[in-house]
Structure 1
Amino acid sequence: MNFRDLSPSPRTLMTPGPVEVDPRVLRAMSTPILGQFDPEFTDLMNETMTMLREIFMTKNQWAYTVDGTSRSGLEAVLVSLIESGDKVLVPLYGRFGHLLVEIVRRCGAEVVTLEKDWGTVFAVEEIAAAIRQHRPQLVAIVHGETSTGCMQPLDGIGLACREIDALLVVDVVATIGGVEVATDKWLMDAVIGGTQKCLSVPAGLSLVSYNERVESKLLKRKRIEQGLLSDSSAVSSSFHDLLGSPIRSNYLDLCQLQDYWGPARLNHHTEATSMLYALREGLRLVLQEGLQDRFERHKRHEAALMNGIAAMGLTLYGDPSCKMPVVTCVNIPDGVNGESVRAVLLSEFGIEIASSFGPLKGRIWRIGTMGYSCSKRNVLLTLGALEAVLTLHGVKVDAGAAVQAAMNTYNKEALWS
């Protein structure tokens, strides 16, 4: 059987991920393959670690990648830190908090949850009070919930964790590279990012960084493994009784991964060479733009998009005080088939926006303004197309108002600058 040449249709990706990839990143992926222990390649690994520290705003020694999509990094950190019977606190305010709960339970932990209505977030003091009350070994939380478009304030949670010697693990998959992720300032012990959102790199790597508190726990568990692998069952038993249980994964074992990325160059796995090229180029472009300028760019296009949506007579979902700058959630008008609107946007304009999950499925659209997709062209195109498709679906909108409102936003900013 003959298959046709691969030729995906051109798309304007305005979802909360994946997003459009910078052509320079795609070009980097086409460069020649090096062996993973070639000194030239290990130099690229070291450069990537240096750039990751800047992106994570940290002085941590360890900042590297886990091969696999964002969930691989989440699992690697949680599997490597959680021992059976540990108590883990997970504040829930959207779908991806529930994902953390599932992973934590698979690690054999006792899970304690706090819950907020979707569309809102916690006051930091609410989480701090729960930490003091339940005294968990670990707190796991999502920074930006793309399911609801809300972003949880983090400053102060790490301090509460330090009071009881708990570790703070934060999912920054949707925020890294688009909004501030102040790892050291906010006392976050481990952070996990993704490539396919604000960094505008294809999905396939997860980014992790962690501090000495985490490394200390990892090294204890590494000694347990060495005891269990020794010939003496008495030694193995003593290690287990003294320190706890070994890490239950080989591929997602942070102890082995840091030996792979560190001077030991442990032959743990075969590195995803072309993906590392892509990440290195993506990080280089982020730093070339400058973190603060990049954060401001995301806010600028968010403002234009929101003003355009309001001019159409549509309303936003969620508490505006905790809105993510990189995801805008729009209430679907009564009587409108949201999936039909999405389908026509895709088929007629080549624009993809997202629906949502669980209780919000069919109730909101989610529009991402992330990374390379976050541009004036894309915002104006999306607003104009959405206006046309809503008119087709019988929604009365003021033709041209959305694009004009966005243009006014851009023009005002130009005057102010």
Structure 2
Amino acid sequence: MSVDQLSQGRKEEMAEVSNAAKTPQGPIQVPTRLLMGPGPTTAHPRILTAQALPLLGHMHPPFIHIMDEIKEGLRYMFQTESPYTLMISGTGHAGMEAAIANLLEPGEKIIVGVNGIWGERVADLAERYQGDVIQLKADPGKTFSIAELKAAVAQHKPAILFLVQGESSTGTHQALGDGLGEACKAAGTLLVVDTVASLGGVPLFADNWGIDCIYSGSQKCLSGPPGAAPFFMSQRAVDKLKGRKTKPATYNLDLNLIADYWGWFKPARSYHHTGVVSTFYAMREALAIVGEEGLPAMWARHLAAHQLLWKGLRELGLQPYVPDVKDRLVTVNTIKVPEGVDWAALCKDAMDTYAVEIAGGLGPSIGKVWRVGVMGFNARPMAVEQVLTAFRHGLAKQGYKQPAAAAGKSEL
């Protein structure tokens, strides 16, 4: 075929392009909103600026340096001396699947603490990876005592005990200390923890608590965009990974391969996938912001925002969904919907009138609660006051009358 014939053929192909489906026209338009639901939260301006920086190749030395900075920042974030930290290229669900796919082999037992949707999803996921799943259940709004967790581990001696520190569907905060990690180690069990809705908002001590694997999300307390999952493994977890009898049933999330991209086992990096370059810029910046504030101050700021929110909600006569104060999650607050109030109408009014996102329930809490996140950049008084203003307006619009018994009540 001659060059002229090839050129004519390309022209004929181009002439066949249909205009039935047109591409978007003009610059993208995005409204400004205050995201006070369970996530994503409003991004920190510094983090948004970092995403606009020029792209680098995902194997370029300057980008590898940024990855190394991320690993160091995550060691502080997780409070660990372990060298095995990284960002999974994907959302919190990718972190979830990476933990299960790499640490659970077919036929092995896994105890899954189920007191909301995230435990339910991990139980489903573990079954898909052919695990022997034992569901330890608690009512929505409740958590597991350390004693019952230790007893379950001693009885079943599973390969993994899985727990959610911050169950965002119900607003519960699971305790993880008091020797639970030691009990898992004694039974030959790996302790795996979901911290998607809690990392950075409440205390977490990977080494001191004996946790073996943690995953999280970038879009909650770290105030970043969705698309990266902070990830940690202990030496015990890495030993399990390296000693598997079978390959993980995933290529995309095989940590043996991802680890060599992040330099876990050898200095030279090898290609596994194209890292999410701009998102990693954002997460490097997010971790720098955490380091500048310091974790104790960050945890205290989230607690103060939570207390301010509940002071205002109680003045309106609203009540928490989680009955025990010690079980309440600071970062994602679940609020009972009073009888006769349309929860969805209040959420719509908050968005239409104030451009504030207030979310409804999820999983077992659907139709029963509102969920308000005080996370990251939004864990500050101005954001909380905007939420309270939206509640006042939305409730008044529906003719809601504050119960007389609520006056003066101050328990947080």
**Structures share fold, TM-score greater than 0.5:** yes
- 1:291-306 equivalences under 5 Å are 291-306=295-310
| Letter of the structure 2 residue corresponding to residue 183 of structure 1 | A
Does the 8 Å CA contact 1:48/1:64 hold for their aligned counterparts? yes
Q: Conserved in 1, the CA contact under 8 Å of 2:127 and 2:133? A: yes
The 5 A counterparts of 1:8-407 are: 8-155=30-177, 156-221=179-244, 244-262=245-263, 263-318=267-322, 319-397=324-402
* Residues 141-185 of structure 1 deviation map (CA, whole Å, 9 limit, x = unaligned): 111101111111001221111111111111111111111111001
The residue type equivalent to 2:96 in the other structure is L
Instruction: Give the letter for the 1:328 counterpart.
Output: N
Corresponding letter in the other structure for 2:230 = L
CA contact (8 A) 1:171 1:193 kept: yes
CA contact (8 A) 1:391 1:397 kept: no
Amino acid at match of 1:186: W
Compute the displacement of 1:211 (Å): 1.2
The alpha-carbon distance between structure 1 residues 31 and 107, as it changes in their structure 2 partners (threshold 3 A), is: same
- The 3-state SS of whatever aligns with 1:90 is strand
**What amino acid is the match of 2:188?**
D
Deviations 1:196-235 (CA, angstroms, capped at 9, x unpaired) = 10000000011111011111122123xxxxxxxxxxxxxx
CA contact 1:119–1:148 (8 Å) conserved in 2: yes
Check the 8 A contact 2:334/2:369 in 1, yes or no. yes
Distance 2:228 2:296 in 1: 24
Two-structure CA RMSD over aligned residues (Å):
1.8
CA contact (8 A) 1:94 1:147 kept: yes
How far does residue 35 in structure 1 lie from its aligned partner after superposition?
A: 1.3
Moved more, 358-367 or 11-20: 358-367
> Which string of whole-angstrom CA distances, capped at 9 and with x for unpartnered residues, describes residues 311-362 of structure 1?
0111111122211111211111101111111011111110111111233211
- Paired residues of 1:16 and 1:146 also in contact (CA < 8 A): yes
Cα contact 1:304–1:405 (8 A) shared by 2: no
* Contact residue 37 and residue 358 of structure 2 kept, 8 A: yes
Note the C-alpha offset of 1:405: 11
Q: Structure 2 counterpart of 1:322, which letter? A: D
Cα deviation digits, residues 388-417 of structure 1 (max 9, x gap): 11100110249xx99x999xx9xxxxxxxx
For the 8 Å contact 2:34–2:355, the answer to whether it is kept is: yes
Gaps of 5+ in 1: 222-243, 410-417
Residues 197, 332 of structure 2: 8 Å contact kept: no
Percent of aligned pairs sharing the same letter = 36
SS in 1 for 2:229: strand
Deviation (angstroms), 1:102: 1.0
SS of the counterpart of 1:179? coil
Aligned pair count reads: 382
- 3-state DSSP of counterpart to 1:194: coil
Contact 2:321 2:334 in 1 (8 A): yes
Question: In structure 1, what is the Cα distance between the partners aligned to 2:330 and 2:391?
Answer: 20
Local SS of the residue matching 2:385: helix
TM-score relative to the length of structure 2: 0.90
How far apart are residue 248 of structure 1 and its match? 1.0
Report the Cα offset of residue 267 of structure 1.
Answer: 0.7
Cα distance between partner residues in 1 of 2:144 and 2:234:
25
Return the offset for 1:54: 0.4
Matched letter for residue 115 of structure 1: K
Whole-Å Cα distance in 1 between the matches of residues 66 and 233 of structure 2?
Answer: 20
Q: Is the 8 A contact 2:116 2:140 kept in 1?
A: yes
Do the aligned partners of 1:387 and 1:397 also contact (CA within 8 Å) in 2?
no
Q: TM-score scaled by structure 1?
A: 0.89
- For structure 2, the residue ranges without an aligned partner over 5 or more in a row are 1-21
Q: Distance in 1 between matches of 2:387 and 2:409?
A: 13
Contact 2:170–2:364 at 8 Å: present in 1 too?
A: no
Structure 1 consecutive aligned stretches of length 4 or more whose deviation exceeds 3 Å = none
Contact preservation (8 Å) 2:215, 2:232? yes
Alpha-carbon separation, structure 1, partners of 2:152 and 2:409: 44
Return the offset for 1:301: 1.0
Deviation at 1:39, TM superposition (A): 1.2
Q: CA deviation at 1:3?
A: 2.6
Per-residue CA deviations over 1:58-88 (Å, capped at 9, x if unaligned) read 0111100110101101111210111110010
